[in-house]
Structure 1
């Protein structure tokens, strides 16, 4: 696996770390393609019940490495979007595993929007989120124009995208952009606790919830109720559902197996 990423599986959690700290974990082609490959591997690995995504160093991800796009052999920007970021966002939303994104520092441009595409986003108190695209005449890609307005509302998202304001982790939590903020001292432990909790929950139920959240982005009420009916039926046939009911009746802690 590429040195631009670090990866390990521990207690059912696939831990992925962006590993280009010298350039604030900005994406080049190697890292983008390697990240896609890692997500595919996690999706196919039955031992993985949750994914924990974070960055090494002071930043989470500063978006695109501009050194790559200004090089003499630079790829076309449309190729970067089509081959790097769009496939990553699709994998994040389609992978049948919950993804906890632990934003350890600045998340800018594509780095911010890839984080917001994840299922649960937490941040350290010193982190920040920046829609940096307008500063260089680009549009917010990596699903930004889709996810951000749904998270914080049209007006706020429009202003942040056009103004390119830096949003502190605390403000991001207040406006509903992310789930929680932790102090610097607590961040690693508390964010990992979320991944540990998620990894021990009924995995298929969480996967079905993720699928419904995806369809709920565009469905009308009737369509979404129909989908809920389908997936509730699927959930009711899982091993973990039976275990959850039995544990409730027997007044004990359930032992979910992810099936």
Structure 2
């Protein structure tokens, strides 16, 4: 299968998916999200693939949602529908009975941060960073961020990241337990693929079932989180603060929120 938004390569039982929308910092535009779902399904059914590696082209892993493509007057119903479609991406990552390793190059922002956390292992380049950027545009964390961060960090540290929207460096993310390894940028893919091949040469059935057992509880807990996300994000899409946040983002200034 050919893709326009992705590069997919299979070698040594490892399927590598590279997000290729560097022009929007690999933001999850609808076309990219759709192709990513298709690639996960294709590689999930490929008996020659035991492990997947997910990375980004250019200077970003994934910048999250495509603010440029969001209708500032989107209704709560439209926003809810968009969120439910995006939730399928996270569910599919978690359901896939093959390990997925995120090789985070550059920014993992907003939903891009969530995308990395939904992977089974996270390797980060030294210059990469993570940011819960939702608050900066008047939105709530989505694609499971509330669940993943609270589970990994506890409620207080998770709320700090989500309330302030500050950047977290790769080293800080490692210290917090958000990533498995920090690797020199120039060696990121080489070392990630080496680990991927090691896992790929292991007992695929038992490793896949181990992932399924770990993620069984996560998937159950995410159901309620996703329902709340879809409602809350739909509401936020209709606020003046969201419109101001997006405008300020593109005007490269600090937003002036009013709580309306």
TM bucket by the smaller chain?
0.7 to 0.9
Size of the aligned set, in residue pairs, is 218
The 5 Å alignment of 1:191-230 reads: 191-217=192-218
What SS class does the counterpart of residue 51 from structure 1 fall into?
strand
Shift of 1:159: 0.8
Which blocks of at least 5 consecutive residues in structure 2 are unaligned?
221-260
| Structure 1 contact 2–31 (Cα < 8 Å) conserved | no
150-159 or 74-83, which deviates more: 74-83
Partner of residue 89, structure 1: 90
Partner of residue 100, structure 1: 101
Partner of residue 239, structure 1: none
Separation in 1 of the partners of 2:186 and 2:21?
A: 23
The 5 Å alignment of 1:128-143 reads: 128-143=129-144
Separation in 1 of the partners of 2:27 and 2:3?
A: 14
What SS class does the counterpart of residue 91 from structure 1 fall into?
helix
Dislocated runs of 4+, deviation >6 Å? 71-75
2:15 is the counterpart of 1:14: yes
Shift of 1:215: 2.9
Separation in 2 of the partners of 1:152 and 1:79?
A: 30
The 5 Å alignment of 1:47-196 reads: 47-70=48-71, 76-83=78-85, 85-196=86-197
- Provide TM-score, normalisation by structure 2: 0.80
For residues 218 and 196 of structure 1, do their structure 2 counterparts lie closer, same or farther at Cα, with a shift above 3 Å needed? Answer: closer
| Structure 2 contact 91–219 (Cα < 8 Å) conserved | no
- Greater Rg by CA: 1
Separation in 2 of the partners of 1:135 and 1:104?
A: 22
The 5 Å alignment of 1:233-252 reads: none
| Structure 2 contact 126–182 (Cα < 8 Å) conserved | yes
| Structure 1 contact 2–30 (Cα < 8 Å) conserved | no
Separation in 1 of the partners of 2:188 and 2:15?
A: 18
Separation in 1 of the partners of 2:168 and 2:30?
A: 27
Separation in 2 of the partners of 1:8 and 1:148?
A: 31
For residues 20 and 218 of structure 1, do their structure 2 counterparts lie closer, same or farther at Cα, with a shift above 3 Å needed? Answer: closer
63-72 or 34-43, which deviates more: 63-72
| Structure 2 contact 102–123 (Cα < 8 Å) conserved | yes
Separation in 2 of the partners of 1:194 and 1:71?
A: 43
Separation in 2 of the partners of 1:38 and 1:217?
A: 23
Separation in 1 of the partners of 2:136 and 2:97?
A: 35
Shift of 1:125: 0.4
Shift of 1:76: 2.5
**CA offsets 1:117-147 (integer angstroms, 9 cap, x no match):** 1000010000000111111111111111111
Higher relative contact order (CA 8 A, sep 6+): 2
- Provide TM-score, normalisation by structure 1: 0.80
Partner of residue 248, structure 2: none
Separation in 1 of the partners of 2:12 and 2:40?
A: 17
Shift of 1:169: 0.5
The 5 Å alignment of 1:247-258 reads: none
Shift of 1:214: 1.4
